[in-house]
Structure 1
Amino acid sequence: MSSPDDEPQTHNHMGYFGVEPSTLIDLVEAYRNRKFVEDLTYVEEKFSDVEKLADKLKSSLDHGLEGNDFQKRDEHFGSNEKEPPPRKGICKLFLEALDDLMLKILIVSAIISIIISMIFADDDERPIAWVEGGAILFAVAVVTGVTAWNDYQKEKQFMKLTEYSDSKNNFTVLRNGVQEEINFDDIKVGDLVAIRTGMNIPADAILIRGTGVTSDESAMTGESIELKKEPIEQCKMRLEEKQEEEKFHSDAPERTNHDIPSPILLSGTQIETGEGWFMVVVVGKESCVGKIYAKLSQEIETTPLQLKLNKIATDIGYLGMFSAAITLIVLFGRFFIEQSLDGWDGGDIGDYLEEWFEYILIAVTIVVVAVPEGLPLAVMIALAYSVRKMLKDQNFVKRLSSCEIMGGANNICSDKTGTLTKNEMTVKEMWVGGLQSLDNEQKEYTIGDYIRDKKHADLFLQGLSCNTSGTSKEANATEKAILKMLDKFGCDYQDLRGQHCKDPLTRFQFTSRRKKMSTVLTEIDDNEFGYDKRLHIKGAAEYVLANCTHYLNEQGERVELDPTTKNHLIKDVIKGFAEGALRTICCAYRDLKPEDGGLAHDEDGEDGVSKVVETFLTCICILGIRDVIRPEVPDAVEKCQNAGIRVRMVTGDNQDTALAIAKECNIIAEEKEDSIMTGPQFYERVGGLYCQNCNEDSPCKCPEKKVKEAVKNKKEFAKIHENLSVLARSRPEDKYLLVTGIKEMGDVVAVTGDGTNDAPALKKADVGFAMGITGTDVAKHAADIILLDDNFASIVQACMWGRNIYDNIRRFLQFQLSVNIVALTTAFIGSCILRESPLQPIQLLWVNLIMDSLGSLAEATERPTEKLLNRPPQSRDDYIISHKMVKHLIIMGTYQSIVVFVLIFLGEFLIPEDSDYHPNTDGKYVYPGRAYSWDGKDLYRKFTEFDDDKGPSRHYTVVFNAFVFMQIFNMIC
């Protein structure tokens, strides 16, 4: 929750407008918390009717906004302008990348090195004395620059996607009686906006006129059902009818929140069908979608791998500083002992100071040598390369660190619709006098294989063709499934409609009250018995079957529906379909004579069809429809479980449907206590969330950055957490609570989501996956990775890539630490004995940055294999260096150190001889490159400092070359 200081500055224009913004916000909240008709009651109490509301908003239901008072509207009600997500410049990203402990140690060491080298260098060497420290700073700049550039490119790529999405959001509004096109940001409170199918609603609004308007609020509520929307006057008529029914029918159905349609439209939801106009009442940050955007400003938490690398960096830093301190103690101790024995005749105070500062420079060198400078660059190369490859596996990575986090993920909370399933309703089973299963993998069916009788088949095709609307590509989910089935049967449903459905007034759409759709055909082939019309009905199976007196058997004969058969259809067919997570649709018909009437006015019947006519029906078929499981999902879930990853399904479906799908997906093998719960049950048992900072229920009044949410009943959550596999009837707050609790348990959790309401949970998770096809812009903005194919199997690929990255980084770390252990040992022992480091920082930088960068690229090019899923994920608490790595480090460190020290102390006897003297001399031998004292009393100096005729020694060059070649062998191993 934002602090008061963060709130936009508004001006009170109550003298101009007749309503406060808070009153309009409360209207929307009344609908969101609706149990029956609270929103209708609120409108009546506050405004009487929608016309008076328009007057208070200085708007007209006929002409829209009039005049040019846009500034006043923005000041009073707020603006709908969407603040672009804060885009970080390359400089800010560079500074963020610089916030790394290893890099900080290197920077400090480099600055000290430059200062001391410049102060005590000889005059002829001073122009180049900064080179060693400068090389360290250059290495830091390279590592930081590569990291920042990669982050900048990912952010730039996502911004292009966002801009493309925003460019499509134009709306038709009515202003001064004239229609005009405006974009999302220019929507004002009081605007009249035209409804079009498929549009995303830009602000919270109220429907003022419309026909056949339905909306899909699953993006906001998680419930995948179409909701009928009607102007408030029609809603009130529905309410009166419901109240009348309750007066005369004691067994009337229990009231639910969607029994009576609502005029309220929520921002971030979608129009499914219909046309009309709505009036905007809440915009911007106070709208439903705006409030969710406000929750997405949480600070990004440190990833598990970052914590582990920070830990190893801290340990290495301490080791380097400890070694440097011991070296200083040894060097100063040795200096004072030797000078005391010599009577302090070694030189003046200037010589002593120069010697002491050289000791300090040696200590700095040891610290630099200890730090694996190339590790951040190696990590970045691995991540950047893997991200490009992950794109081919349908994973668009927005945040680089999310790749490696997936390597340690041990929980996945997945949506059902579109992720585990195809989000395509399909007819899977049907009863046509007998049970039939449809093979959804077949491209075509033959109607005769399922319905033997031609007349039965004709009624089946006619009823389903004419009692549906739209096409197999453009219709609601249920009708799409039916029409796709007809396509496979080779039925030209458009042709049948042309023959029988010439009069559009004979169709009466499905409503939440009637639970069925009716179509009266006036053009029928068979009128030998005086029938001139045919009524086709399609709807909820139990509602339609209740009015059936006959059915068509397998031979196509019209048979009386006796109690035994009806009981069989209800208990075995309809209930059996429901237990298999199938939505049941019953199709029936009745032939009508002129005296039967058929059509009626609203006062005589419901929605234009006489109740009397909708009786004595003949059942044609019962269809079982469901969202088909993606074929690769069960295997992918099984792989996750074998890999130690717990897959949990979070869905808005009821428990029976959720359980059936979970079993089919292999999420639940056998039911245990608490393996499946509803969202409200779960929330009640764990008590919700509270803020640890102020000890109040969440959301609290603390500033956003100080909020620290935790589960109230952690003990109960721990108990549920062990077995919970399915959360049914889940609300957004339930999903957010589940994710928060799982993280509190120390687990690494990934979450999938596609709706606007999923955004807070996506942001809260260690890794948030948004759906690339069905996901809303808000969900994509909150996510770390976007699944371009909306497929759960792509999440498994992300897990494999994450583990691959983690293994690669371990290999890089093993290589670099073996390099640095040998270098540190050499620098430490060499400094204590020889008063100098045989290996210089600039040489180590070359090894770490050049060799390891190429090595990391070579490792990163390996694609992950499924073998990576044969082990459990890494724990947050696991130390990144394993026992196997320690053994390797000890063996390689010992072997390399022996070789290096043999070459340092005996190198001049082992290196092939060549003339190292002035050309005029005949002496042939290799002189040592190490420093030493002629008599053990003078300050240690290089051999060349005692003899000007000597050129540079090849001794330490050979030592360094041997060290480099050992690293090549080390990398191969």
Structure 2
Amino acid sequence: MGVLDREAGEASIAEEGPLPDWHTLMREEIEQRLGTGPSGLSTEEVEARLERYGPNVLQREARETRLTVFLRQFKSVLIIILIIAAAVSFLVGEAIDAFAILIIVALNAVLGFSQEWQAGEAIEALKKLLVQHAVVVRGGERREIDASGIVPGDIVVVEMGERVPADLFIIEATSLQVDEAPLTGESSPVNKAPGSLPPETPLAERSNMAFAGTTVVNGRGYGIAVATGMKTEFGKIAGLSQQVADVTTPLARQMDRLGRDLGLIAIGIAVLVVIVGLLQQRGFLEMFLIGVSLAVAVIPEGLPAVVTLTLALGIKSMMRRNCLIRHLPASETLGAVSVICTDKTGTLTRNEMTVVRVRTPGEEVTVTGAGYAPEGEFLVGERTIDPLADPGLRQYLRTVLLCNHATLALEEGGWRIFGTPTEGALVVAAAKAGLSRDDAPETVKEFSFNSTRKRMTIIYREDEGDVAYVKGAPEVLLSLSSRALLAGSVVPLTEDLRAKLLAEIEEYASQGLRLLGAAYRPLPAGLEWTEDSVEQDLIFLGFAGIVDPPRPEAAEAIRLCKSAGIDVIMITGDNPLTAYTIAKNLGLSSEGALTGADLESMSDEDLERRLRTTKVLSRVTAEHKLRVIDVLSKDQAVIAMTGDGVNDAPALKKASIGIAMGIKGTDVAKESSDMVLVDDNFASIVAGVEEGRREYDNISRFTRYLLSSNVGELVAIVGGILLGLPLILIPVQILWINLVTDGLTALALGLEPAERDVMQRKPRDPGEAILTRSAYLVISILGIWLGLLTIYVFSGLYEIDLDRARTMAFTGLIIFELYNVLNFRSFRFPLHQIGFFSNPTLLLAILGGLALQAVVVYVPIFNTFLGTAPLTLADWGLLALLGLPVLIAGEAYKVIRLRAGKGAEAPPVPA
């Protein structure tokens, strides 16, 4: 078929309607639909189609500006309330109060902005993965063009080492193999060949298609471009990533709820007290100032900044555990994870194919060592053997080495395979035996592998004559063999031996092993070399069992996940039997495996039920992963999704927390994630979960501590008004307590070490409020105690010296709260069990708080701004004695609970 004219091409495309399933068509049908042929398109036709379809690039989602990201930091209800409080303070002339509030708001915004600016770059990363250049046939000539200029109907040439520039229907292939792991999750390269396939063929098995963004690892071929840009499978995933909305974290929702509650409480109390004061004939301006003081007392101004700083410090701690957090709330969210949906290849496994067994006709040999390092032993039973001294094993290894295109090289960072992983595994096995191709004979002929033949042959010119070395599916080679190498001698392949070997092939396959057989044949002189003539009367040598070995720490990580109440689900594009076997070896119990086809035939309700017992999902697409997350989310599960490929990007973005691989992960996966595993180690997730749980526990601790302090301030002010006393604390003193003294100790409380059983309890309920009824009770009891002590101190002195009385109340409340912070280190274990010095930062913060209070009491300039007066040493001693029972009562409470057997069962923070 020649080059069609422009009108014919446009007509054929216009009539096609919805895009067909290209893999189901024959070459002639596709050429007719796309108006193309062996000579490709004309220049005029290409220009017309570029105008119609657009360039072969991904559409870019509008990037958020720096201003947008910065303004988003002010969406929190608490932040909005603080800004309103600052405005009111300005209106009533309290500029110092307003300035202090705005400083803390600005600090919070800057910290949040600095962490979030790198987010939202998934589409840019996707775009970078597209090839920059491509070779096409146009007007009968080969041309190198910018890949963005490819249009549907172009004839595209692909070769080893290149990325596929568009979705192609293969029309010619020579040993063509494509690595589709970034797109489908399939761990081994896919052989490509022309032909049509049934409609139900899954994406990972479409051997007549090559997809944009994948890599050619062997051979070469020609294909017709059937989809470009956003119409490619690659582009569809980019579109899914754009459509997925960011998920609000549990902590963000809880803090917003807390902010709304505190705002309503602040307004209600302030209005009520102002009304009471007016009824007491107090002046309106005085009562307005008191109302502002109450609002400031109720709202913990330092809470947003302390939360932000605690999360930022947690990020640094996680980085030491090889968990790179990209968004502040993600570190806390990780601690709430109840389900981890993990990829298999490169996550639970090493993504390095390894020969573990070689079965020759005479014996089974175990091969030790994992990965691509040529280090290991050959064992028969428990006995180590010399592989070169065993004629059958030596010949098998030499054959698979010679009938091979992969090479092994030592580079910076370790050993690397150039070629397909499966062929690489055979090269490594031969290298473990001391074999190499350095002295290989001359190659004279090759019959390439394809999915129909399931074998390849390379003929070498040996000293004794030409020899054909054959590698392929062991059952195919057995059918072509009439002899076998047994005990160093070539013997007839009897039916009994053939049946025995076939049975063992099935046994190996049932264990999830990938199998490759080998055979050879000295060729008689004068034989005409064709596939049929050469590949017969072969001498069968045996077959190897190859696995992608599990990471050694993955099994322990899964066990720890179980003890922490975290469900693990393997989601992979690999073969279901292989995936199930690896899951079983890792200790991941599952009732069989579900395939992508199974998912499509099930309702959401059925899928939800199956996921309770079936933990292995194979042959899945990006859409399937999104559906699984949707189904799991109906139970309010907090879902972590791990992955490394392009196909993982939408699910990584939609999951509660997306976790990408740092070493083998694509840029797309990393930019779509919330966290990156620097070492690609699944076990690091467990360390991250522990750190996340510690962070949330500490956020809960200092939230309760700050609120109990604020209740104390509220009780002191309201109680004083009801008793007809002057204002006990002025607004600037309350701000000093909330932002400086309480802020330091609260931040130090955020560094409290994790409790010893933090990974032996179930994940927290993400719907549960950060403050429960019992927590409010604890806060109220302690706050009322602190407030009444403050009123007691003030009431005995105000008639003598108001400034001194206010300073005693101000200083006393700070001392009482510094005692109280020790109570919140744990509500389960007393100090002598957790260790008084186990959080030295907190002790330094307590001493720092006392030192700062001494400064504001004795430095004249602070006396003016904060309304303080110097105190005597006796005053300090009295306040210290009055506050000591607060700590003693808290310790006694914990001891009583432990002796009653309740402390060990209680949550780590008062619930």
TM bucket normalised to smaller: 0.7 to 0.9
Matched ranges for 1:724-873 at <5 A:
724-834=614-724, 837-855=727-745, 857-861=747-751, 867-873=757-763
Match in the other structure for 2:836: none
- Distance in 2 of aligned mates of 1:109 and 1:260: 62
- Distance in 2 of aligned mates of 1:594 and 1:377: 85
Q: Deviations over 1:702-736 (max 9, x none)?
A: xxxxxxxxxxx43x344223222111232332222
Letter in 1 for 2:319: L
Q: Deviations over 1:39-61 (max 9, x none)?
A: 635314425752476248735xx
Cα shift at 1:681: 1.7
Letter in 1 for 2:600: Y
Matched ranges for 1:75-114 at <5 A:
75-82=51-58, 86-114=62-90
Match in the other structure for 2:507: 576
Of 95, 109, 121, 1:130 maps to 95
Of 422, 430, 451, 2:358 maps to 430
Q: 1:436 to 1:968 in 2, by over 3 A?
A: same
Tell me if structure 2 keeps the 8 A contact 1:21–1:282.
Answer: no
Counterpart check, 1:296 vs 2:241: yes
Tell me if structure 2 keeps the 8 A contact 1:412–1:750.
Answer: yes
SS of 1:534 mapped into structure 2: strand
- Distance in 2 of aligned mates of 1:824 and 1:139: 21
Q: 1:900 to 1:47 in 2, by over 3 A?
A: closer
Match in the other structure for 1:587: 518
Counterpart check, 1:679 vs 2:596: yes
Matched ranges for 1:938-949 at <5 A:
none
Match in the other structure for 1:30: 21
Cα shift at 1:623: 0.6
- Distance in 2 of aligned mates of 1:664 and 1:370: 55
Of 427, 440, 454, 1:515 maps to 454
Match in the other structure for 1:495: 438
SS of 1:109 mapped into structure 2: helix
Of 2, 10, 20, 1:18 maps to 10
Match in the other structure for 2:491: 559
Of 150, 163, 183, 2:115 maps to 150
Match in the other structure for 2:406: 470
Match in the other structure for 1:395: 323
Cα shift at 1:851: 3.6
Q: Deviations over 1:451-484 (max 9, x none)?
A: 4755434423321221111203102111111111
Tell me if structure 2 keeps the 8 A contact 1:21–1:76.
Answer: no
Q: Which runs of 5+ in 1 are unaligned?
A: 1-12, 60-68, 119-128, 243-252, 336-351, 601-608, 687-712, 909-925, 930-952
Q: 1:429 to 1:900 in 2, by over 3 A?
A: same
Counterpart check, 1:483 vs 2:427: yes
Cα shift at 1:816: 0.9
SS of 2:759 mapped into structure 1: helix
Counterpart check, 1:370 vs 2:304: no
Q: 1:783 to 1:807 in 2, by over 3 A?
A: same
Tell me if structure 2 keeps the 8 A contact 1:331–1:835.
Answer: no
Q: 1:395 to 1:260 in 2, by over 3 A?
A: closer
Tell me if structure 2 keeps the 8 A contact 1:173–1:194.
Answer: yes
Letter in 2 for 1:623: A
Matched ranges for 1:629-648 at <5 A:
629-648=550-569
Q: 1:730 to 1:204 in 2, by over 3 A?
A: closer
- Distance in 2 of aligned mates of 1:187 and 1:582: 40
Q: 1:256 to 1:137 in 2, by over 3 A?
A: closer
- Distance in 1 of aligned mates of 2:345 and 2:691: 25
- Distance in 2 of aligned mates of 1:47 and 1:111: 66
Q: Deviations over 1:359-413 (max 9, x none)?
A: 2332232122111111111111122222233233332322222221111110011
Q: CA RMSD in A?
A: 3.5
Of 347, 372, 379, 1:419 maps to 347
- Distance in 1 of aligned mates of 2:805 and 2:87: 29
SS of 2:347 mapped into structure 1: coil
- Distance in 2 of aligned mates of 1:105 and 1:899: 29
Q: 1:191 to 1:380 in 2, by over 3 A?
A: farther
SS of 1:437 mapped into structure 2: strand
Counterpart check, 1:962 vs 2:812: yes
Tell me if structure 1 keeps the 8 A contact 2:570–2:583.
Answer: yes
Cα shift at 1:844: 2.8
Counterpart check, 1:599 vs 2:564: no
Match in the other structure for 1:460: 396
- Distance in 2 of aligned mates of 1:224 and 1:643: 30
Of 349, 354, 368, 1:439 maps to 368
Counterpart check, 1:719 vs 2:609: yes
Letter in 1 for 2:273: T
Letter in 2 for 1:569: L
Match in the other structure for 1:948: none
Q: Deviations over 1:112-165 (max 9, x none)?
A: 3322x24xxxxxxxxxx433234323332232232223323x449x79x96799
Match in the other structure for 2:132: 170
Letter in 1 for 2:403: N
Using the size of structure 2 for normalisation, the TM-score is 0.80
SS of 1:520 mapped into structure 2: strand
- Distance in 2 of aligned mates of 1:961 and 1:39: 87
Q: Deviations over 1:299-331 (max 9, x none)?
A: 322211111222222222232233223313322
Bigger shift: residues 88-97 or 254-263: 254-263
SS of 1:958 mapped into structure 2: helix
SS of 2:75 mapped into structure 1: coil
Bigger shift: residues 749-758 or 777-786: 777-786
Match in the other structure for 1:332: 278
Letter in 1 for 2:512: A
Letter in 1 for 2:10: G
SS of 2:728 mapped into structure 1: coil
Letter in 1 for 2:289: L
Tell me if structure 2 keeps the 8 A contact 1:222–1:732.
Answer: no
Tell me if structure 2 keeps the 8 A contact 1:826–1:901.
Answer: yes
Q: Deviations over 1:803-827 (max 9, x none)?
A: 1221121122122112111112112
- Distance in 1 of aligned mates of 2:800 and 2:375: 85
- Distance in 1 of aligned mates of 2:583 and 2:635: 24
Match in the other structure for 2:163: 200
Using the size of structure 1 for normalisation, the TM-score is 0.75
- Distance in 1 of aligned mates of 2:775 and 2:200: 65
Tell me if structure 2 keeps the 8 A contact 1:812–1:852.
Answer: no
Pair member with larger Rg = 1
Letter in 2 for 1:103: I
Q: 1:374 to 1:613 in 2, by over 3 A?
A: same
SS of 2:89 mapped into structure 1: helix
Letter in 1 for 2:29: Y
SS of 1:954 mapped into structure 2: helix
Counterpart check, 1:538 vs 2:501: no
Tell me if structure 2 keeps the 8 A contact 1:324–1:828.
Answer: no
- Distance in 2 of aligned mates of 1:110 and 1:258: 58
Letter in 2 for 1:514: R
What's the % identity of the aligned pairs? 28
Tell me if structure 2 keeps the 8 A contact 1:43–1:50.
Answer: no
Cα shift at 1:440: 1.5
Match in the other structure for 1:384: 312
Q: 1:215 to 1:644 in 2, by over 3 A?
A: same
Letter in 1 for 2:250: P
Q: 1:540 to 1:798 in 2, by over 3 A?
A: same
Match in the other structure for 2:184: 221
Q: 1:392 to 1:25 in 2, by over 3 A?
A: farther
- Distance in 1 of aligned mates of 2:177 and 2:11: 28
Cα shift at 1:655: 3.1
